[in-house]
Structure 1
């Protein structure tokens, strides 16, 4: 019985592929990079985040100042100031001090954690009660915690999705080097195939592969 299929060895197929001409590269705006394939490695030129930032609304503090604080035995801290969004604080935090801060805000020098606002109560404009202690680094994103400067974060050959283009935007990459799109042709074959604008006869089907594969 004749074999219906002819199987080609995988190594031979890969050898054929290696002989195929490589497509060139081109630079495209980041806004048009989704779906394209990277033509080089992407190395981080900065830390992400590039400053210590809060992940909760509350108060930036030195964690040690909150140790032992409970609802029955709250700690008391003086308010040093407020961290404005998008700005670098001009003051530092010492033991027993706190600064109001919003999610994403830059921690003042000296602070190493954030007490959630839900675990505090303002006594007046200058003092707060703290009902729960925090550990160093709690509710904080450290500098370089997501990406370290000098790390290869995306490898050549990576297909770019929205996740990758967002990361590239965070790194300030306006233009991306990608492989050019290859020019291909799809040919549907088969005696039973008819064009989409024709009515199939008995045993015939319309050509769908040309449209689903293209």
Structure 2
């Protein structure tokens, strides 16, 4: 398992991606003073921050899995990923650098890259606010990551927000029922009870996301 970030690069656009990598790295270099220390891909030495490939990790013992970008395969979309810790609570500090770099890649590459993640929007907001604050680049997390916040009401009329990274919500009921089951078994707390009703989509300001995030996996509806 592990706390993982994923991305897909359009393979036929390899030349374009590699040409724009320099611009991505220029922005990333301006953010380095605001990021945790980085090391080479094996956790020692310095990070590799020049074309045609980026490779870094956290400095040992705060290293985990190396981040390498771009990563090419003989497929329509080249798949890459990086685990930054065994779980969200134990992710290594360089996780912020991975999120920040992937946001910059999305800003510069647009539809040539798709980004997904185990991290909630509340975590991505930290990287987005850093990019906006230092580089003055507007970041729309919802649009860049293809994520949405749904307002949900449970059987007792209590409302909360859930994020979804897919347009298809057919698995939402299964996810909610699984949360209730884990709560009954004492594995994971979940304060709500079904049946549930989706009321619509909500667009919280990015700076609100970390403040509204609850460790049980939802956002508070205030």
Q: Structure 2 length as normaliser, TM-score?
A: 0.23
Pick the structure with greater CA Rg.
1
Q: Structure 1 length as normaliser, TM-score?
A: 0.24
Question: Could you say which structure has the higher helix fraction?
Answer: 2
Higher relative contact order (CA 8 A, sep 6+): 1
